[in-house]
Amino acid sequence: MEAGGILADRYVLVRPVARGAQGTVWRAVDRVRGTDVAVKVSGTADVEALLRLVCEQSVRIGHPHVLVPVDWFVREDEAWLVLPLVRGGTLAGLLADYGQLPAPVGLLIAEQLLDALAAVHAAGLVHRDVKPSNLLLAATGTGRPHVFLADFGVARVLPHLQLTSHALVVGTPDYLAPEVRAGEGSSPAQDVYAAGLVLTGLGALPALVAAMTADRPELRPSAAAARDEIARARAALGPEQWPVEWEGEAFAVLDQLPAGPAPEPETPRTAAGPRRTVLVTTAALAALAAAAVALGAGGAPDRQDPRGDTPAPRSTPTRVVPSDADTGLPDPQGPTAFSRCEARQQFTVRFSPEGYLLLCTHVPATRDYEWAPQSDAD
């Protein structure tokens, strides 16, 4: 994919803004809304990439400091996630530029991080990869800083979902809690531990940092309790005043992305086209289904049917689930086999109340979508 390429007939790629082990992040323009967005692309659409996509696109936490996706799709060999574009860089970059931060700035960022984690934990999630490079900053200039907790690609729902083996340690080594290193299960305490390490660079109270990074998880405060402690420390500084002077000049979070118009889009035929699912094995599809059920992924972010029409009702003969249909954990709230689903749910996987593995699939030669049972033959 090159600058000017169009994805899903909607997103025009501008330029890469970051590259990492999990793929590339592009700055892009949403032609429908006329806004800049960030598009994350995995290098492959293998099972691991799809699981990360299921995790991240399923996060639906309405919180001012949690970055949630706005769209997603899978091409034949890549998985794509569309997010709001955050232009101020990362906390890691800010610390590299400034070193120690002014107390009003450091404590404000600490409070915003802990407030985000409190919301994440209240929603039954564990982030599992809290670190400065996953904390994005709005380009607020000399005004009040605003941080976003991002990258939920290895998040876990408690207590239902285990996306990786206990033998496989997930997260960034320098920010792993002792119990995670020992192979124990995920818990909110591991996020608190990682946040405590982040707070060491933000000027937080040493006693609070020590409590958050205690060896035993049961001795650590909750994210909400730690947030409240930071709020009290901020209140002790007096009323907020922005800008903050730091070493003789105004402290600022500047726009880190180069300016300039988007390139002319390519002909859509090479980069656009309908959203399609990747062909995966039955085992991979079952893993995705388990992830979707545990994350409550009843559907992807709102997207319109490419035709812009509401599917018309139709009558179908009674059908029977194949004897070799794949099964898993029954979901009492799940759809029934062959029941209707929406175009925006295409390629979503669920379990039925009987435990059948279902895929929202387009019915050929119609405008309908249905929850189709899956089997090895599929």
Residue 179's pLDDT is what? 94
| Domain residue spans of the chain | 6-84, 91-250, 279-378
Task: Report H helices in 213-314.
Answer: 223-236, 268-271, 282-294
Active site residue 324: no
Q: Which amino acid is at 175?
A: Y
Q: What is the pTM of this model?
A: 0.67
Residue in 9, 46, 77, 129 annotated catalytic = 129
Q: Is it true that domain 6-84 has CATH number 3.30.200.20?
A: yes
Residue 220's pLDDT is what? 98
Comparing 6-84 with 91-250, is the CATH topology the same? no
Cα–Cα distance measured from residue 360 to residue 346, given in angstroms and rounded to the nearest whole number? 5
What is the fold, at CATH topology level, of the domain defined by 91-250?
Transferase(Phosphotransferase); domain 1 (1.10.510)
Residue 238's pLDDT is what? 95
Q: How would DSSP label each residue in 292-357? A: HHHTT-SSPSP---TT--PPPP---------TTB-B-S--TTSPPTT-B--GGGTT-EEE-TT-BE
Segment-wise mean pLDDT, segments of 10 residues, the chain, 378 residues: 84 87 84 91 59 57 87 75 92 91 96 96 90 95 96 58 42 85 90 97 94 98 98 96 92 84 46 36 42 41 40 53 76 86 75 81 79 70
Residue 206's pLDDT is what? 95
CA separation, residue 33 to residues 253, 266, 268 (Å):
26, 19, 18
Residue 46's pLDDT is what? 55
